[in-house]
Amino acid sequence: MPASPFLLDVQTLRTRTRRHLEDSAAAPDMDAQRATILNLLNEAFATETLCALRYKHYHHHFSGSDTDAIALSFGERAREEQGHADMIAQRIVELNGAPGFSRDGLISWEQTDEVLSRSFVELVKEVMIVECITIDIYRDIIRYVSDRDRGTNLMIAGILAVEERHAQEMAAQLEALPA
């Protein structure tokens, strides 16, 4: 089964994050560091926004089916991911940046049809991969912000802990589903 537009987008956001980190090595002054942190935060903002939308979509699509318990948990996760997006946006504003992100190269905004052509198990597996990529993105961001921006570091560490819980919950939910 090929990757869905949602998974491809999150992979694109991880690639963008890594590119900001590579570019930052060439411009180590304070202004460049601040620009890098804002770029990283905006990629995280995009990731969280996409995840919130997708969890919400799956929540509504599967509610009332025999997978209702997982669908309900998707609703809760949509709220948590949206909360992360809001925290990140607020931090961007505190750093005198503007929350926002380019949709260039992102393809899943309009494409939600894969939910109709995939089994629930496939979707849950993919969401678990997305959570793992999100964890990668946050670990990369934490490595960069480190002592450069303690406030951002603390905030991202808190979000990362929630993403790690999400990945664990997804693994447990997957295990409980029939193969």
Binding stretches for Fe ion (CB under 5 A)? 48, 81, 84, 131, 163, 166
Task: For the CB of residue 81, give the shortest distance to Fe ion in the complex, in Å.
Answer: 4
Task: For the CB of residue 156, give the shortest distance to Fe ion in the complex, in Å.
Answer: 11
Please identify, using beta-carbon distances, which residue of 81 and 126 lies nearer to Fe ion. Answer: 81
Sequence-ordered list of residues with C-beta below 8 angstroms from that of 93, at least 6 positions apart, any chain: 99
Task: For the CB of residue 142, give the shortest distance to Fe ion in the complex, in Å.
Answer: 14
CA 171 vs CA 17, 27, 29: distances in Å: 25, 40, 42
Task: For the CB of residue 32, give the shortest distance to Fe ion in the complex, in Å.
Answer: 27
Sign, CA torsion 166/172/177/179 = positive
Q: Are 87 and 159 in contact (CB under 8 A)?
A: yes
Sequence-ordered list of residues with C-beta below 8 angstroms from that of 23, at least 6 positions apart, any chain: 36
Please identify, using beta-carbon distances, which residue of 34 and 125 lies nearer to Fe ion. Answer: 125
Please identify, using beta-carbon distances, which residue of 43 and 48 lies nearer to Fe ion. Answer: 48
- Tell me the residue type at 104: D
Please identify, using beta-carbon distances, which residue of 20 and 166 lies nearer to Fe ion. Answer: 166
Please identify, using beta-carbon distances, which residue of 23 and 76 lies nearer to Fe ion. Answer: 76
Sequence-ordered list of residues with C-beta below 8 angstroms from that of 61, at least 6 positions apart, any chain: 71, 115
Task: For the CB of residue 159, give the shortest distance to Fe ion in the complex, in Å.
Answer: 6
* The pair of three-digit structure tokens given for residue 175, joined into one six-digit string: 């295990």
